[in-house]
Structure 1
Amino acid sequence: MMKRQSKQKVILLISTIFVVSLNLRPAVTSIGPMLDIIRRDLILTNTQVSLLTALPVFCMGLFALLSPWLNRRIGLSNSMYLMLIIIGAATALRGVYSNYISLVFSAILIGIAIAVIGPLLSAMIKQNFPERATSVIGIYSFGMGVGSTLGAGLTAVFFSYTNSYSFSLAIWAVFAVVGIFFWKASQNVQRQVKQQDEMLKTEPKSPWRNKKAWLFLLFFGLQASAFFSIITWLVPIALDSGMSLVQASSLLSLVTIIQIVLNLFFPIIYERFPKRKLWLLFFLGMGLVAIGLMWTGVSLLLWISAFFMGVPLAGLFPIALLFPLDETVTADDTNAWTSMMQTGGFIMAGFLPMLIALIYDLTGDHHYTLMILFLLFIAMIFLTFLIGDREVKTVNK
């Protein structure tokens, strides 16, 4: 009977991690398919409209350190409730006020909430699944991928039926409601996690003077920059190549569908064959091939490139999330390392889509966009050799 109850708690906690992680991308990725429509309707420049995706990413970095502070102040459970409510309210706001100021305000609130939720989830995984963290990170990443795919792929569909980008952006508040319901259902499990954390008497070691932690931060920032730039600018690139909005959105959907399918597949294989450097080089090589195919502007090759680009988007993020888990022992240390990595990494990632927008405003040529993406992947290959393979840490008995 106790085993059955324990198994039910594990299933509930994993389900909650999945549902909560669904909320971490749709409010951002749903903007991409609507970029040109919002820009024309509100009479904005590409740089101005790109703020709607750049600001949440900036906030994910600037406010990631709030996660351990809020956990200490109001507890894990209340912190998560608050952040899910913020995501839901800010996303719903887009359906009530369809002006630029409200869109910017909602983007900031959403970014802050995502910043706090991310490290909390990583710490929970480290605490509850120390031996199977890789697989559970796959669930976390899978949930984010599903949310990202739905936001990127269905937003244009909603718009085609309603002709309202406000409704198409606001509908994703539903995920926050579901997340709150699951969080409530798993509250007893969360209390146990908090009680276990309170039993740890050791102070978490600061990662800010650790060279490895800085390498992780740089790599996380580059892969996040690549992700958000591709999610934001793939549709405009495809439109410039002659595709319709529905075709271009379907192209983005293909990228994210490949991503979510492989999000589950790669972490399971990675757990069995944990050669971090080889996996990273494989993913980055696929990314370079995808960028080369995009550069041609040929419709058929764009579809093939979308398939290839889904591979690094699926593989790079879960491995980057595992960096702190591989290098730390306790959940507190994991939270500290993850907060540092995401703080600097997301601040980096906030700049790139804006840089692309600025260059495109000046040149009107997306070949520069692809050149920037190409250089990003080359930089990640260089960092891969500096980071090396994983070092599994164990608790001293």
Structure 2
Amino acid sequence: MVVGIVLTALNLRPAITSFGALLEEVRDGLGMSGSVAGVLTSVPPLCFAVFGVMAPRLARRFGPGAVVCAGMVAITAGLAIRPYAGNTARFLAASALALMGIAVSNVLMPVIVKRWFPDRVGSMTGLYSMALALGTSAAAAVTVPMTDALGGSWKSGLAVWAGLAAAAVVPWILLVRARGADSEGGAAGLRPGTGTGADGRSPDTGPGSPARQEPDGLRITRSRTAWALAVFFGLQATAAYITMGWMAQIFRDAGVAAGTAGLLLAVTMVMGVPLAFVIPRLATRLPHQGPIVVALGACGLAGYAGLYFAPASGAWAWALLLGVSNCAFPLALTMVGMRARTGAGVAKLSAFAQSTGYLLSIPGPLLVGVLYQQSGGWGLPLALMAGLMVPQIGVGILAGRNRTVEDEAARRPHP
């Protein structure tokens, strides 16, 4: 299970950051305008919103492991097909296939962590987030030099990431075949072959058992914390996908070489490797996660200011600051696990927060592309990015309060 989680996490962002590193080459190869490129950078959150909401229902029917396995297959196929699609529409369709696999895995990873590792939510979320950051940064760092090594074709540079996705399919196939673990154990909160819950109790007894605590008919939309977490997730996703899609181009427009710009993006992403392990562990030890939200937001504001006033001369500093700010993602994942008491609650909260959040994040990268094309510079896009950081801090403080969605939904009167 741990191997499957780590390999899955490694594959949840290379489809996006490898494209960002070669954005200029892909635009030239497919004849895209800046606005169309902005649309493409908005596709990931759109797919995450549309397909992510389906994940809990699919998991109930087929088991979470089987759904994640299918997701890895979809990522493999999409990444192998899209470089050779031939035009923008087919490139978009193949990208959507890969992003569909990423979307369902995004939603189900917190569910799997909560059910299989209920006493280690912080450390396992940290491991998962660290692997995700490693995959993100690796794709940003090595895509350009790997493209050069493969003959200079951006198609080969993008297609090679399908191999990593194919490797992630293997452990999930083994897990799905092992005694029906997903349908019998994963869906009911059981460990394979034990007949006991993840906490060692019988599934029908004990205060932590699914039979006692799984909420039937939980109306997640009745919880203010769920809404705050969804908006926080959406705003941090907006910042992350703008960064992944456009930051390399900001540096290139400032006179930084293409390889160095990709390396700077990699530095931003690699900051999540150590911090994604530290922040969830710290968050689970605090009664309120608001101070972490404020610290990450302040780093983001400083990074945007630096990109505006001295994008080239201070490039490494701004990359580091934005890398710290992007660690709002593992914090949001950790809060998903902390703001619900049960596996079913985490599944509903994860689907709601991620699907709603990614839906909210769709306009951001598109607006950046439009503003960049219309203004001919990065002043207005950076002002937009800095402006969105302020409400992100506000709703993050609200989402970080010590309460659960089950309790909030129960307290609110039915209409």
Asked if TM exceeds 0.5, the reply is: yes
State the distance in 2 between where 1:375 and 1:78 align: 41
Q: Who is 1:341 aligned against?
A: 353
Residues 145-224 of structure 1 mapped to structure 2, 5 A cutoff: 145-161=133-149, 162-187=151-176, 188=178, 190=182, 192-196=185-189, 200-201=210-211, 202=214, 203=216, 205-224=218-237
Give the % identical residues.
Answer: 25
Task: Please give the residue correspondences for 1:229-268 in structure 2 after superposition, counting only pairs within 5 Å.
Answer: 229-268=242-281
Q: Distance in 1 between matches of 2:57 and 2:302?
A: 42
Find out whether 1:109 has 2:100 as its counterpart: no
Instruction: Report SS of the residue matched to 1:295.
Output: helix
Distance 1:146 1:282 in 2: 22
**Shift of residue 388, structure 1, vs aligned partner:** 4.4
C-alpha displacement of 1:151 = 1.6
**C-alpha contact (below 8 Å) 2:55/2:351 kept by paired residues:** yes
Which residue pairs with 1:53 in the alignment? 41
Q: Which amino acid aligns with 2:175?
A: S
- Do the aligned partners of residues 212 and 393 (structure 1) sit closer, same or farther apart at CA in structure 2, a change above 3 Å counting? closer
Q: Is 1:300 paired with 2:279? A: no
**CA apart distance, 1:349:** 1.7
Aligned match of 2:76 = 88
Read off the aligned partner of 2:270 and give its amino acid letter.
I
2:79 is the counterpart of 1:79: no
1:385 to 1:330, Cα distance in 2 relative to 1, 3 A? closer
Mapped contact 1:232–1:353 kept (Cα < 8 A)? yes
Instruction: Provide the rounded CA distance (Å) in 2 between the counterparts of 1:331 and 1:385.
Output: 24
1:44 maps to 2:56? no
Return the letter of the residue paired with 2:167.
V
Residue equivalent to 1:286? 299
TM-score (ref. length: structure 1): 0.91
Q: What residue is the counterpart of 1:361 in the other structure?
A: 373
Q: Which moved more, 1:158-167 or 1:219-228?
A: 158-167
Decide whether the 8 Å contact of 1:93 with 1:102 is kept in 2. Answer: no
Is there any run of 5+ residues in structure 1 with no aligned partner, and where? 1-12
Q: Output one character per residue of 1:271-318: Cα deviation in whole Å (capped at 9) or x when no partner.
A: 34454011111111111111111112342312111111111212x111
What secondary structure is seen at the aligned counterpart in 2 of 1:378? helix
SS in 1 for 2:313: helix
8 Å contact from structure 1 (residues 221, 345) kept in 2 = yes
Say if 2:385 is the partner of 1:373: yes
Q: How many residues align?
A: 382
Q: Is the 8 A contact 1:95 1:166 kept in 2?
A: yes
Give SS of 2:52's match.
coil
Give the TM-score, by structure 2 length. 0.87
- Per-residue deviation, 1:78: 2.4
Q: CA deviation at 1:138?
A: 0.8
Check 1:149–1:220 CA distance in 2 against 1; reply closer, same or farther (3 A cut). Answer: same
> In structure 1, what is the Cα distance between the partners aligned to 2:188 and 2:228?
33
Structure 2 contact 10–131 (Cα < 8 Å) conserved = yes
> Aligned partners of 1:158 and 1:290: how far apart in 2?
28
Measure the CA separation in 2 of the matches of 1:144 and 1:246: 22
- Segments of 4+ in structure 1 off by > 6 A? 392-395
Whether the 8 Å CA contact 1:51–1:104 is kept in 2: the answer is no
Deviation at 1:160, TM superposition (A): 2.0
Amino acid at match of 2:385: L
Q: Which position in structure 1 is the counterpart of 2:129?
A: 141
Rounded to whole Å, the distance in 2 between the matches of 1:75 and 1:386 is 33
**Residues 309-320 of structure 1: matches in 2 within 5 Å?**
309-314=322-327, 316-320=328-332
**Contact kept? 1:258, 1:310, Cα under 8 Å:** yes
* Alignment correspondent of 1:386: 398
1-structure distance, mates of 2:61, 2:395: 36
Aligned to 1:10: none
Deviations along 1:152-207, one digit per CA (max 9) or x if unpaired, are 11111122222111111111111221111121333435453234369645425120
